[in-house]
Chains A and B, each alone.
Chain A
Amino acid sequence: MKLEVENVSWLGVLRGVSLTALPGEVVGLIGPNGSGKSSLLRCVYRRIRPDDGRVLLDGADVWRTPAREVARQVAVVAQDTPADLDETVEHVVALGRIPHLGALGRLSAAEVALIAETMERCDVAALARRPVATLSGGERQRVQLARALVQRPRLLVLDEPTNHLDLRHQVELLRLIRTLGVTVVVTLHDLQLAAAACDRLVVLDAGRVVADGSAAEVVTEKLLREVYQVHAEVAPGADGLPRLFLPLGRAPAASPPL
């Protein structure tokens, strides 16, 4: 599915943002806190209506498409999903079928199988009967991912999906989204991980796109200095992807321990 964001503005948080994700492309959205990443994603999945500009899915304006129709195409793992749910993991994962359900909301056998298989895939099958409230942050994150995948989306929107995940699950999640063959737009804070996981990186700063290109083009010392106000060393690794070195500026004379 092709995603086109055309000149979207919203409340001064987004100021004329344009970007395109081609079918099957994994686009990483990076930028400092408050740069408008989550707001941009909210415009994509129809949570907020831009004051100006359009969001097109395969050429169709999301605000001229019924919400349910959009949800059949676009699945979201948002930040800050409620953590204190009494519902069990399998119940929450099954919610992903809602956009596809009929009036009585009955799941077909094929859907039940899909749900089971997706829970396996996201490493939450063993937690199926646990209330979500009893899970760790990383487990919850994987439950939300399973719920999103059960939607069978053609565009997957992920807002900080690696939050709370341990290193292994971060790597596996980013690998997994690359195997899905769907268009993915993902916000990430770890630039090195973003560089490795995404086909293309788009950098937002203060509601504007300030860079858009391959990891090697985007992740530069200049960008880190100008957008993040961080003086870092960037060198290409063996695979051609940028490697970051972040000197924390330790003073030679260590301050006495507190």
Chain B
Amino acid sequence: MRQSRRIGAVRQGRRIGTVRRDGRSGAVEPDAGIGPVKAGGRIGAVRRSGRSGRIDRSGRIGTGKPGGRSAFAGALVALTALLGVSLIAAVGLGPVAIPFPDVARILLEAGAGAPAGPRQVIVLDIRLPRVLLGAVVGAGLATVGAILQAVLRNPLADPYIIGASSGASLGAVLVMLAGVYPFGALSLPLSAFLGAMAAFALVLGLSRSGGHLAPGRLILAGVAVAALTEAVTSYIVLTTPEKEVRSALFWTLGGLSGTQWRDVGIPALVVLAAAAWAITRASRLNALVLGDEGATSLGVEVNRLRLRMIVVSALVIGTVVAVSGGIGFVALMVPHAVRLVAGGDNRRLIPLSALTGALLLVWVDVGARMLNRPDEIPIGVITAVLGSPFFLMLLVRDGRRGLP
């Protein structure tokens, strides 16, 4: 926790040095201290300089970070455009390279019922669903990370903490072990989803205290449940016949290979709906920085908000993990990276994290299928390789700057 506190402090460090202290009144102008109070008396009425110009009308206030609404809108547009271009570029990259203009043309002609050649099949049936699912999964993971970090007031919160990720792996692995697939091709995603929900329900049940959900208990329960389910998963994977070990590993490390169109729809809807809902709750999430007491006094029903946010997060994670396996670090890393640049205001953090997460995972998936051809690298391996140095970098920067 101590180091997590410090990670949070990193983003502030830059500004600390620029603060002007000259406006401090009391000690500087002793003559005016406790004089008769004017109408509408103010605390420290001594300052005459009228420094109210510090807040501009661009809505800079309440952002927690310089940069007005236009900067935020610009970032949204830029990230969306970048994501659009990346989707097309990523569709072109793979064992068979297809130039960017050709991909764009094939996509445009797809609606017009153009004849299907091999390149059309690769673009439309193999790569596009995979790339889109990557974007959906990345957006979902990053959104959930931002939500959980706000709701649990813990910068280290991520889907593993609510048990959903490891539960999904166990659910999928159990079905593989039983070798019974009652729902055909949907059996694995469904069992992963059910596993996620079961583990989450266990964590939720354990984290109740006095009828309310206690963030501290939730984290402890989540760590314990995750450790247990991961141990069981590992045991099953190690004792499963050789051939199936690889597909079981997929659930623990994540991957998007073999994605088909039917895998994309439900996760996309769930992630979009959850992100939109979370954005409408973002200012209430902001209130949580004042603690449960302070947020309550701002009209936020803390326990209800926390429970709903966590349940929605678990649904998103269950849905996403069911199609992509457990991809680590994205949920943890993306919100932190966005916070460094855009500040901690959840009204901005959530949409920007969703877009950044989508962008990141699209490119990580390109790496997964390009770096070790013809084999694929599990996505979770790449995100961990990227994520660990990222955190070390945060720590080093933080250590250099320190706090006053």
A residues whose Cβ falls under 8 Å from a Cβ of B? 45-47, 66-72, 74-76, 78, 80-82, 84-88, 90-99, 101, 103-107, 109, 112-113, 115-117, 119-123, 125-131, 133-134, 142, 145, 147-148, 151, 157, 166, 168-169, 171-173, 175-176, 179
> A76: which B residues are within 8 A, CB to CB?
294, 297
List CB contacts (< 8 Å) of B98-112 with chain A.
none
* Nearest-neighbor residue (CB-CB) of B153 within chain A: A82
Interchain residue pairs A-B with the least CB separation, the first 7: A126-B23, A71-B299, A123-B44, A94-B62, A105-B283, A76-B297, A121-B42
B186 adjacent to chain A (CB < 8 Å)? no
The reply to whether B20 and A126 contact each other, CB–CB distance below 8 Å, is: yes
The reply to whether A172 and B41 contact each other, CB–CB distance below 8 Å, is: yes
Cα distance A96–B300 when bound, in Å?
12
Cα distance A231–B404 when bound, in Å?
45
The reply to whether A129 and B19 contact each other, CB–CB distance below 8 Å, is: yes
The reply to whether A128 and B54 contact each other, CB–CB distance below 8 Å, is: yes
Which of B5-13, B86-94, B174-182, B381-389 contacts its partner? B5-13
* Nearest-neighbor residue (CB-CB) of B57 within chain A: A109
> B404: which A residues are within 8 A, CB to CB?
134
* Nearest-neighbor residue (CB-CB) of B44 within chain A: A123
The reply to whether B24 and A78 contact each other, CB–CB distance below 8 Å, is: no
Interface size band for B? 35 or more
The reply to whether B19 and A74 contact each other, CB–CB distance below 8 Å, is: no
Q: What are 12 A-B pairs at a CB distance below 8 A?
A: A66-B299, A81-B290, A87-B64, A91-B345, A99-B299, A104-B279, A107-B61, A123-B25, A125-B54, A131-B16, A151-B298, A176-B42
Most buried by A among B11, B25, B55, B57: B55
Cα distance A69–B300 when bound, in Å?
10
Q: Given A47-B296, A120-B51, A169-B43, check contact A134 B16 (CB 8 Å).
A: yes
> B11: which A residues are within 8 A, CB to CB?
86
- What's the least CB distance linking A160 to chain B, in Å? 13
B63 adjacent to chain A (CB < 8 Å)? yes
- What's the least CB distance linking B335 to chain A, in Å? 14
Q: Given A71-B299, A78-B294, check contact A94 B61 (CB 8 Å).
A: yes
List CB contacts (< 8 Å) of B44-74 with chain A.
44-45, 47, 50-52, 54-55, 57, 59, 61-66, 69
The reply to whether B282 and A92 contact each other, CB–CB distance below 8 Å, is: no
The reply to whether A176 and B18 contact each other, CB–CB distance below 8 Å, is: no
The reply to whether B347 and A98 contact each other, CB–CB distance below 8 Å, is: no
Cα distance A116–B42 when bound, in Å?
13
The reply to whether A121 and B16 contact each other, CB–CB distance below 8 Å, is: no
Most buried by A among B18, B37, B44: B44
> A91: which B residues are within 8 A, CB to CB?
61-64, 344-345
The reply to whether B44 and A78 contact each other, CB–CB distance below 8 Å, is: no
B293 adjacent to chain A (CB < 8 Å)? yes
B400 adjacent to chain A (CB < 8 Å)? no
* Nearest-neighbor residue (CB-CB) of A42 within chain B: B293
The reply to whether B34 and A171 contact each other, CB–CB distance below 8 Å, is: yes
The reply to whether B44 and A129 contact each other, CB–CB distance below 8 Å, is: no
